[in-house]
Chain A
Amino acid sequence: MHALRLALRTLLREWRSGELGVLLLALTTAVAALTGVGFLVGRIDTAVREQATQVLAADVRVSSTQPLPDSWFSTASQRGVHSARIQTLLSVVFRGDDSQLANVEAVSDGYPLRGTLLVADQAFADGSATRDIPAPGQVWPSSKLIATLGGGIGTKLAIGAATLTVTRILIARPDQGVNLADLAPSLIMNLKDLPGTQLIQPGSRVSYSGLFAADPALIRAFRPWLLEQIRPADRMRDVSDASPQLETAVDRAGRFLTLASLVSVLLCSIAVAMSARQYVRRHLDAVALLKTLGATRAFTLTVSLLQLVIVALLASAMGSVIGFLAQEWLLHAVRGLLGTTVLPPANLAPLGMGVSAALAVLAGFALPPLLQLARVPPLRVLRRDVGPPPPLVILAFGPALVVVVGLVWWAVRDVRLAVQFLIGLSVFLAALAAAGYVLVTLCGRLRGRVGVAWRYGIANLSRRRADSMVQIAAFGAGLMVLLVLGVVRDDLEVDWRRSLPADAPNYFFVNIPPADSNAFRQFIEQRGARLSRMLPMLRGRLTAINGEDVQTMRFARRGGDARGFSGREQNVTWASTLGDDNQIVAGSFWPSDYHGAPQVSLATEFQQSLGVGVGDKVSFDVGGEPFEATVTSVRKVKWDSFQPNFFVVFSPGVLDAVSGTYLTSAYFHPRDPHVMAQLARRFPSVSIFNVDDLLAQVRGIIDKAVLAVQSVFAFTLFAGLVVLLAAVQSSREERRFESAMLRTLGARGATVWQGVMAEFVALGLLAGSLAVAGAALAGAFVATRVLQVPYELDPWLPLVGIGGGALLVCLSGWLATRSVISQPPILTLRGD
């Protein structure tokens, strides 16, 4: 109890010395980063798991590109299984002249069989559950759709040839999942209204779904029967495979964000170690005196430990509150990113995690110096040069290593990933520290050529070389991760847009009925637009390669590509000639007047993922027609030409027996919404995709994802600043005395201030340069290697990185030293 009383009594006095403040700030930042991400990931994870049970809106769901037989539904009814139907298609929805591409879901009575629809009278309001569906003549648009089109309850929306009245706003439906890339706004309408829209024409891209639900015993009996009926184009899912990819994606994103927050924690740990070192240095005399007066080693250690634990608990409380508020703000900011607007409340698990992490960081980074403090001999009261004996290396660094490894393991729960992360982080920080060392050394060479203030500042950087390196590496790392995200987001999009020709098509038209193709072409050309090639588009499925069934084959590349190309239906076409954006890399393309045996030309992506080559025979099922064709050429396709292109192109005549629709693109200048409105009314089944709108939507999603990651990395930047503060704090006494010394020698206050600021400006410039160089390298790598677009350095990057870095460091440095640099010169005599 004596120890606790002494710890509490001296805590407030200790506070004024400063290092406990830095310790509190470091631990608070670490806890805020960890708990913020913990709350965020926990809530999204819970939402995903809850929705996985409802995501099908049924117990069993069959989706298909072909209409589902009525017999399935009648049999279900006979067996006591409830059923409902959905037909889904993309179409442009109009409110007057305003239009928006939307996902149209036409649903039958009974939908949804599992979960509930949430509706409201206003967009983005909290929804209330309903068991109804829109009555015939009614439509329920999503918040996003009605917000885009304007209007509200009572608004008339034109969908194809039908006009429906908005009676509710759809807030959420169970089977929308948590779509991270829900591009198009949606609406639901009654299935009975669908024929009146005339949206469904031969060859239209419609998805048909059948929903089935019943008591477990009934559904278990029904499922095998249904499975027997399944055709190649059908896909059957039940709860067990509802949303595994999404869960994996959320799991991965969660791990990534947790690891990102761990970088902040590790930087804060450095600040904790620095503060603890300073705490120990300042307490050597006091502990020696306590021991002289009879205090035991355990007593002195307990007093120090208690003070730090109190600070850790305070930091945990403050950090948790900040973390909670940060994730609330972030969830609000990225609201549209998630398919649902209603997330479950946060659970309290991250709080325990925050407290544990704060105590672990203390144990790893502050305990070893404290153990040293307790070993200071009482002789120090007589001989100030006597300090504690040097620690064993294992005791000095062992606990820190254990804590770092433990935290990383806790974050990823995967030995290989943990080792990879630790190695990657070590190499990254070592490279930064090495670059910092080189920069500090080079900077030191300038000191003979600059004035007194700069010389003093640069000399300080060189003298505290180790601290300077740590500060440059820590702050540089924080700044770099933020800049990298900015570069990847902004520069690359700009570069990519710059690489496109000015008249690249800006509209895509899908689902053009063959009977309308000429009229469509005329319509476009009469309005002064230039149409690119018009290609037929059919749905086909690869069934065999050289006679071997693809379902039983193992592919060299087990990525999503191989599975996607081999099992599922995909778009195929036929053509007599190729555009400039297709380059033959193997074999030869058929002559333009070819009408012989079936041949096929494959895109390199298709050819590589399936391992087929020129001369191989591939079997396809297109619209129920099976046939075999010989691969005679492989093409490298320039996909960003915005011309219609296909992975699989057949020779003329092969697909004659199958009906399909046409696909084309066109360049309209200037963009005229009235033309599109006319076009959509004249050809209601044609889906119109505006490239700019699509890019804007993709950009919106990327922006929100980037914002989420940037928010986590903002903690990293702040952690870098905390390291800076810790370093300044640990040199506080030296700075105090040197400032007084300079004043004694005749330096004016402004000169002393300039000297100290010169040090921080130099530090900020060096860290900023390092961050800019790292961000530019990463940007160039992503541009040239990943996206394969030319990379140009944004002239703002150095300005923002280096200027911003210098400004931030200066501001923090000024805040940390403002009381120090105004020391009266009398200190030089009192210091004796």
Chain B
Amino acid sequence: MHDVSFDIAKGETVAITGASGAGKSTLLAMLAGLDLPTAGHLWLDGQDLTALSEDGRARLRAQRVGFVFQSFHLIPSLTALENVLLPLELAQRGNAQGQAREVLERVGLAPRVDHYPRQLSGGEQQRVALARAFVIGPAVLFADEPTGNLDANTGQRIIELMFEMNRTTRTTLVLVTHEQELAQRCDRILHMHAGRLVTS
């Protein structure tokens, strides 16, 4: 990536778009502190990510960041409830069970909390992933093609749920997408081309 510089305000919703290989996912990875730039700086919620160690960035993510992936990425050996419990326990929050059940109820999965990922449909898995992302009350939610593996109807329902939760929790939302319709729902679109930001 070259010459990429921008700010995202608290509570803002931002879509990152671009063709395959344009650098969308790389940008997302850097914003979330999953990767670091070879030059330049990144600030997340007031913290300079480039000044933090890998464990320091992990601690920051545990407290302030939520993720939703295209392939859901639930831990297959853990139940829906345990998957949602995971970030709460990593952030060492109290009343983890109660919070996890509550957020699963909000995404409509109360009856399926003890099911394993393989026992859930794609839409249900993505709802668990949403619950897992929102359960810690993150400052920023990063979503990487959140509807990419879902059919149109299910994808639409997930998007509605994500934006609704974003509204109620006032979380900053950064999502990578190919879908113009989805991008248009965001406050701002960052368009990438060949590793450069062409519109902001």
Chain A residues at the B interface, C-beta cutoff of 8 Å: 447, 451-452, 455-456, 459-460, 462-464, 734, 738, 741-751, 824-826, 828-832
Give complex CA distance A79, B121 in Å.
101
Q: Are B71 and A459 in contact (CB under 8 A)?
A: no
Q: Which residues of A contact B5 (CB under 8 A)?
A: none
Q: Given A459-B82, A745-B61, A745-B67: A828 and B73 within 8 A (CB)? A: yes
In Å, the complex CA distance between A460 and B75 comes to 10
Select B65's contact among A463, A738, A746, A830, beta carbons within 8 Å.
Answer: A746
The residue that B75 contacts in the complex, of A462, A741, A750, with Cβ under 8 A, is: A741
* B124 interface residue per 8 A CB criterion: no
In the complex, which residues of chain A have a beta carbon less than 8 angstroms from the beta carbon of B25? 829-830, 832
Whether the pair A824, B86 counts as a contact (CB closer than 8 A) is no
Q: How far is the CB of A414 from chain B (nearest CB, A)?
A: 46
The smallest C-beta distance from B149 to any residue of chain A, in angstroms, reads 9
Stretch binding the partner chain, chosen from B51-59, B155-163, B177-185, B192-200: B51-59
Q: Which of B7-52 contact A (CB under 8 A)?
A: 25, 28-29, 32, 34-35
CB distance from A821 to the nearest CB of B (A): 13
Judge if B99 is at the interface, Cβ distance under 8 Å.
no
Asked whether A824 lies within 8 Å of B35 as measured between CB atoms, the reply is: yes
Count, A-B residue pairs, CB within 8 A? 89
B78 in the interface, Cβ–Cβ < 8 Å?
yes
Report how far A734 CA is from B76 CA in the complex, Å.
10
Given A745-B90, A746-B59, are A829 and B77 also a contact pair (CB < 8 Å)?
A: no
A463 and B77 contacting across the interface, CB-CB below 8 Å: yes
Distance, CA A828 to CA B65, complexed state (A): 15
Inter-chain CA distance A831–B71, complex, in Å, is 9
Residue of B nearest to A738 (CB): B75
**6 closest cross-chain pairs (CB), A and B:** A746-B62, A463-B77, A459-B77, A452-B89, A746-B61, A825-B34
A832 in contact with B71 (CB, 8 Å): yes
**How far apart sit A280 and B71, CA to CA, in the bound complex (Å)?**
24
Alpha-carbon distance between A749 and B58 when the two chains are bound, in angstroms: 9
- Nearest chain A residue, comparing its CB with the CB of B148: A832
Q: CA–CA, A830 to B29, complex, Å? A: 10
Give the chain B neighbours of A748 by CB distance below 8 A: 55, 58-59
Decide if A826 touches B29 in the complex (CB within 8 Å).
yes
| The residue from A451, A464, A744, A824 contacting B61, defined by CB atoms under 8 A apart | A744
Contacts of B148 in A (CB 8 A): 832
Mark interface residues in B167-189 (1 if CB within 8 Å of A CB, else 0).
00000000000000000000000
Not counting A456-B75, A738-B75, A746-B65, a sample of 11 additional A-B residue pairs whose C-beta atoms are within 8 angstroms of each other reads A451-B89, A459-B78, A741-B75, A742-B75, A744-B61, A746-B60, A746-B91, A748-B58, A750-B55, A824-B54, A832-B144
How far apart sit A447 and B73, CA to CA, in the bound complex (Å)? 21
7 contacting pairs across A/B (C-beta < 8 A): A464-B77, A743-B54, A745-B61, A750-B55, A825-B58, A828-B34, A832-B148
- Name the A residues within 8 Å of B89 (CB-CB): 451-452
| In-complex Cβ contact of A829 among B55, B62, B144 (8 A) | B144
CB distance from B58 to the nearest CB of A (A): 5
Residue contact A749 to B144, C-beta cutoff 8 Å:
no
| Residue B102 is within 8 A (CB to CB) of chain A in the complex | no
Considering the chains assembled together, what is the distance between the CA atoms of A654 and B65 in angstroms?
102
* Least Cβ–Cβ distance between B99 and chain A, in angstroms: 15
CB contacts (< 8 Å) of A734 on chain B: these are: 76
Which chain B residue shows the least CB distance to A822?
Answer: B54
B69 CB within 8 Å of chain A = yes
**Chain A residues whose C-beta falls within 8 Å of the C-beta of B62 in the assembled complex:** 745-747
List of A residues within 8 angstroms of B73 by Cβ: 741, 828, 831
User: A459 — which chain B residues lie within 8 A by C-beta?
Assistant: 75, 77-78, 82
Q: Which residue of B28, B34, B85 has the most chain A CB atoms within 10 A of its CB atom? A: B34
Could you say which residues of chain A place their CB within 8 Å of the CB of B145?
832
Which of B58, B87, B91, B132 lies in contact with A743, CB distance below 8 A?
B58
CA distance A830 to B73 in the complex (A): 12
Complex Cα spacing A451 to B92, Å: 10
Question: Contacting B76 at CB < 8 Å: which of A451, A463, A829?
Answer: A463
Q: Which chain B residues lie closer than 8 Å to A460 at the CB level?
A: 77
* Residues of B contacting A452 in the complex (Cβ-Cβ under 8 angstroms): 85-86, 89-90
The interface bits of chain B over 88-131 (1 if a CB of A lies within 8 angstroms of the residue's CB, else 0) are: 01110000000000000000000000000000000000000000
Of A451, A463, A747, A832, the residue contacting B58 (CB under 8 A) is A747
The answer, yes or no, to whether B154 is at the interface (CB within 8 Å) is no
Q: Are A832 and B70 in contact (CB under 8 A)?
A: yes
**Which partner residue on chain A sits nearest B76 by CB separation?**
A463
Q: Is B82 within 8 A of A455, CB to CB?
A: yes
Chain A residues positioned under 8 Å from B82 (CB to CB): 447, 455, 459
CB pair A455–B58 under 8 Å, yes or no, is no
In contact, B34 and A745 (Cβ under 8 angstroms): no
CB distance from B131 to the nearest CB of A (A): 13
Note all chain A residues with C-beta closer than 8 A to B71: 831-832
Determine the chain B residues whose CB is within 8 A of the CB of A447 once the complex forms: 82
Chain A residues with Cβ under 8 A from B32's Cβ? 744
Which residues of the partner chain B approach A829 to less than 8 Å between Cβ atoms?
Answer: 25, 28-29, 34, 69, 144
Q: Provide the bound-state CA to CA distance between A268 and B35, in Å.
A: 41
